[in-house]
Amino acid sequence: MSVLLFTSLVFTGSFGAGLLGALTGLGGGVVLVPLLTVVFHVDIRYAIGASLISVIATSSGAAAAYVREGFSSIRIGMFLEMATTVGAICGAFLATRMPTRALTILFGVVLLYSAWLSWQQSRHPEHSAGAGSPWSDRLRLSGSYPTETGEEISYKVDRIAGGFATMFGAGTLSGLLGIGSGAVKVLAMDQVMRIPFKVSTTTSNFMIGVTAAASAGIYLHRGYVDPGLAFPVMLGVLAGSLLGARLLVRARVSLLRVIFTLVILALGVEMILNGMKGSL
């Protein structure tokens, strides 16, 4: 395969990953790392390094649009980033010391667990609204988001401690696997903290760039960021995320949940099988 063809295919695949990442709050990396390792046979550590760079681009592209349209909650994002950033640094140090097979299987297990949680969520899509808490009131984390008709829907943030602890785990996974931990962040905000799904996905996109930047420096220092791979990946993911940000406003939440579940289920099974065979 020529360099030009390889770069074009990587760009196209990255575009699709960025589009899905922006629509679901996954950040693209959850699709990108399996794509690079399974389809293009890239070493998983270099795939993680390129993914972390692309996650920063995704956050910069999609998050700006979400903030402007009033979906993202900056206060929630900045508060939870304290936990995810510390976790990301811990995860990046662990990743450089783990064998490739263990990283691959761990990635697959995380995807399968996320798919199961999302499936449970799709069976019971309506959860009770958060009742709020003294901490959310003091930190002014509750807010509102716009609908297609221009109306504002208010929401209250609940279970602050549980969400903060979950975000530390999400950050650790980001450093370990280079996925931006969007899957865990969305599920934590939606299910634990009772934040509406669209606010969860958009706030996740706002947060993942900071989380990825915390661990990307460690991968760069150890030589796992290849500019020839990271450049087309970054451009593709950025273009896809910008398109996804425009589509999210009119997208149906139920459809996003189904896409989310099916994609990460298939990728999770593929990663575990390849990790057990040692083919990655």
Beta carbons within 8 Å of 73's beta carbon, 6+ residues apart: 141, 143, 195, 199, 203
Give residue 175's identity as a one-letter amino acid code: G
* pLDDT tens-place string over residues 174-188: 777 766 666 677 777
Report pLDDT digits (tens) over 43-72. Answer: 888 988 888 888 777 666 666 667 777 777
In the prediction, which pLDDT does 68 show? 74
Rounded distance between C-alpha atoms, residue 218 and residue 124, angstroms: 40
Max mean pLDDT among 20-34, 81-95, 119-133, 184-198 falls in 81-95
pLDDT score at 11? 94
Contacts of 173 (CB under 8 A, 6+ apart): 87, 91, 110, 179, 181, 184
pTM of the model: 0.69
Distance CA 164, CA 188 (A): 9
Residue 122 scores a pLDDT above 70? no
Where along the chain do its domains lie?
A: 3-277
Q: Check residue 161 and give its pLDDT.
A: 84
Q: Return the minimum-mean-pLDDT range out of 37-41, 128-132, 172-176, 203-207.
A: 128-132
Is pLDDT above 80 for 114? Answer: no
Determine contact, residues 168/195, Cβ cutoff 8 Å. Answer: no
